[in-house]
């Protein structure tokens, strides 16, 4: 795999930009897709947000100073794009953010790209009741198996606070799953 | 058997040598058991076949500037020269009278017209997009309100209307 610094340098250079961007997309497409998909739930929406994320990365690469790692910078863009997308969607539909989240979960039942059973559907309902931050921490740790240090760079939150958030999220989800 | 010179307790041979490894194994085992207990390990999402293979070309296609059709100019040269001649004459004629014509500027629009325009057109701007063009330094709450609000009224409003503290975009560091 190409070193991150080399990739960034190539992305900033006009002659190597196109090839480097293809490498960037192919390296991060799956990780970013699943991160976005777990926020917006629907495949088509995730596809839109993922493409917008990569386009923003391409257009703003000159502004990337290297203070954080490239992947955490991209994860941050993906997270912001996903949350903004949901806010715009609820605004367009004239419903609250919570109503939108619940309707997205309800729609999963007829979604051809959701193969979950009853317990997985219930898990999504439980996740929809969590505050955004707790849900993000939980999915990044539990499903994407990211380290706390990596999540800390993306969400700009201390490792201690993340551990508390994760613990609370697990407790709430378990309580939801246990209830009838 | 290992011995401690100061007391008579004994430990099995090599007990301390691999203590750390055994401890870490146990922590890992407990962690995974706790996670396995209730929450499913997969969330059931799927993607269309070949979605990831097709993605890179799809994204790259959006970045490339659209090709502009090149029109051969040579054969039209004579026509262009004559059009340019006529245009030059017209430009000279109208150019001399230009100062007499009043041009409409942005300042000529009445505030009421601007307000009516913004009221009737839906721009669909998110608060983030507005924040990108209007900096906080340039704006005061009183710019948008006819009456001044007291701190007490603002707190009362937030208390009644904000269900989730995260909506306020406060610093999360100490949250939870």
Q: Quote the CA–CA distance of A100 and A87 in Å, as a whole number.
A: 9
Domain with A177 in it: 116-180
Q: Do B59 and A55 touch (CB under 8 A)?
A: yes
**Closest B-chain CA to A108:** B45
Nearest to A157 among B34, B37, B172 (CB): B172
User: Is residue B116 included in any domain, yes or no?
Assistant: no
pLDDT digits (tens, 9 = 90+) for A58-111: 999 998 988 888 999 999 999 999 999 999 999 999 999 999 999 999 999 889
Indicate the pLDDT class of residue B170, thresholds 50, 70 and 90. Answer: low
User: Does B7 reside within a domain?
Assistant: yes
| CATH number, position A179 | 1.10.10.10
For chain B, what is the mean pLDDT?
72
User: For position B169, what pLDDT does the model report?
Assistant: 64
Query: Could you give the percent of chain B with pLDDT greater than 90?
Result: 10
Structural domain including B16 reads 2-36
Residue predicted with more confidence, B111 or B59: B59
pLDDT given at position B153: 80
**Contact criterion met (CB < 8 Å) for A143 and B47:** no
Query: Is A131 in contact with B55 (Cβ distance < 8 A)?
Result: no
In this structure, the answer to whether residues A108 and A122 fall within a common structural domain is: no
Instruction: State whether B59 and A131 contact (CB < 8 Å).
Output: no
Which residue on chain B is closest to A83 by alpha carbon? B128
In this prediction, residue B33 carries a pLDDT of: 62
Q: Tell me: pLDDT of B172 over 80.
A: no
pLDDT recorded at residue B29: 77
Interacting residues of B97 by C-beta distance below 8 A, sequence separation 6+: none
Minimal C-alpha gap between A25 and chain B (Å)? 6
Chain A residues inside the 8 Å CB shell of B43: 38, 116, 120, 123-124, 143
Whether this model's ipTM surpasses 0.90 comes out as: no
- At A19-48, the pLDDT tens digits run 999 999 999 999 999 999 999 999 999 999
Q: Record the tokens describing residue A68, joined without a space.
A: 């954080």
Count Cβ–Cβ pairs < 8 Å, chain A vs chain B.
Answer: 103
Query: Does the beta-carbon distance from B47 to A29 stay under 8 Å?
Result: no
Within a domain: B26: yes
Closest partner CB to A177 (pick from B38, B44, B164): B38
Q: What is the CATH number of the domain that holds A6?
A: 1.10.1740.10
When CB atoms are compared, the residue of B40, B62, B63 closest to A123 is: B40
Contact between chains at A177 and B39 (C-beta distance less than 8 A): yes
Residue A11 and residue A74 share a domain: yes
Burial A148-163 (b: 16+ CB within 10 A, else e): bebbbbbbebeeebbb
A138 and A90 belong to one structural domain: no
- Residue B168: how many CB atoms within 10 A of its CB? 8
Q: Quote the pLDDT of residue B20.
A: 86
Residues A74 and A144 in one domain: no
Q: Do the domain assignments include residue B12?
A: yes
Q: Does A97 lie in the same domain as A144?
A: no
pLDDT at B101 over 60: no
Domain count, chain B: 1
Closest C-alpha to A41, from A110, A141, A119, A137: A110
Last residue of a domain, one of A94, A114, A134: A114
Cβ distance of B45 and A158 shorter than 8 Å: no
Angstrom distance (rounded) from CA A61 to CA B23: 44
Taking only the tens place, the pLDDT of each residue in B107-156 is 766 777 767 776 666 666 666 666 666 666 666 666 666 667 777 888 88
Highest mean pLDDT among B17-31, B43-57, B82-96, B144-158: B43-57
- Asked whether residue B21 is domain-assigned, the answer is yes
Question: Cβ of B166 and A91 within 8 Å?
Answer: no
pLDDT at B176 over 50: no
Closest CA to A114 of A38, A177, A31: A38
Residue B16 lies in a domain: yes
pLDDT at B32 (0 to 100) = 66
Contacts of B174 in chain A (CB under 8 A): 161
Binary contact (B48, A29; C-beta < 8 A): no
pLDDT, tens only, A115-150: 999 999 999 999 999 999 999 999 999 999 999 999
Whole-angstrom CA distances from A57 to A11, A114, B14 are: 10, 29, 54
């Amino acid at each position: 795999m190409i070193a991150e610094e080399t990739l960034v340098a190539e992305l900033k250079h006009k002659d190597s930009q196109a090839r480097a961007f293809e490498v960037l997309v192919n390296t991060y497409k799956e990780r970013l897709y699943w991160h976005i998909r777990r926020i917006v739930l629907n495949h088509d929406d995730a596809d839109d947000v993922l493409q917008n994320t990569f386009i923003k990365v391409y257009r703003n690469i000159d502004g990337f100073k290297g203070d954080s790692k490239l992947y955490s910078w991209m994860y941050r863009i993906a997270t912001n794009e996903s949350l903004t997308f949901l806010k715009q969607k609820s605004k367009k539909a004239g419903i609250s953010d919570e109503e939108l989240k619940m309707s997205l979960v309800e729609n999963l039942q007829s979604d051809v790209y959701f193969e979950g059973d009853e317990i997985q559907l219930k898990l999504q309902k439980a996740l929809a009741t969590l505050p955004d931050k707790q849900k993000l921490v939980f999915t990044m740790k539990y499903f994407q198996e990211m380290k706390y240090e990596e999540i800390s760079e993306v969400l700009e939150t201390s490792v201690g606070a993340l551990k508390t958030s994760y613990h609370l999220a697990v407790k709430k989800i378990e309580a939801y799953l246990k209830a009838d | 058997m290992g011995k401690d010179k100061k007391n008579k307790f004994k430990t099995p041979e090599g007990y301390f040598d691999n203590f750390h490894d055994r401890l870490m194994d146990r922590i890992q085992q407990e962690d995974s058991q706790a996670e396995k207990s209730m929450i499913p390990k997969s969330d059931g999402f799927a993607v269309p076949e070949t979605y990831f293979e097709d993605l890179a070309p799809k994204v790259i296609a959006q970045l490339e500037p659209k090709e502009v059709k090149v029109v051969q100019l040579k054969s039209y040269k004579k026509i262009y020269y004559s059009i340019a001649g006529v245009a030059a004459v017209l430009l000279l004629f109208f150019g001399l009278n230009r100062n007499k014509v009043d041009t409409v500027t942005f300042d000529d629009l009445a505030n009421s017209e601007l307000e009516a325009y913004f009221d009737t057109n839906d721009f669909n701007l998110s608060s983030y997009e507005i924040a990108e063009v209007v900096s906080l330094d340039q704006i005061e709450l009183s710019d948008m309100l006819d009456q001044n609000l007291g701190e007490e009224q603002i707190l009362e409003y937030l208390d009644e209307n904000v269900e989730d503290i995260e909506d306020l975009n406060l610093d999360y560091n100490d949250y939870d």
